[in-house]
Amino acid sequence: MQILNKDWVGQDVWIVNDPRVPMAVRDHGARFRHPACYVIEVEPGSYLLYAADGELLDLCRLKKLCAGSQHLEPVPG
């Protein structure tokens, strides 16, 4: 993959529809004026979202909605 952002050097960059990207993160990335196309998992549950041109869009973290629930939602970084 071509490096579109210097932050990508040495990182495992995923395409947003990669099965490793949770659906909540994909949905969140689709809300931007220029939707997210690339994702970097910076730590488990935390993701950097990038546009098609490599522009950083957002840092999102997933959290559990309620005790014992498997549902997750992005929250502001």
pTM greater than the 0.85 cutoff: no
Q: Spell out the residues 6+ positions from residue 14 whose beta carbon is closer than 8 angstroms to its own.
A: 20, 21, 38, 39, 40, 41
From the first residue on, what is the mean pLDDT of each consecutive set of 10 residues in the chain (77 residues)?
A: 80 94 93 96 92 94 65 56
Q: Of the candidates 42, 45, 52, which has an alpha carbon nearest to the alpha carbon of residue 17?
A: 52
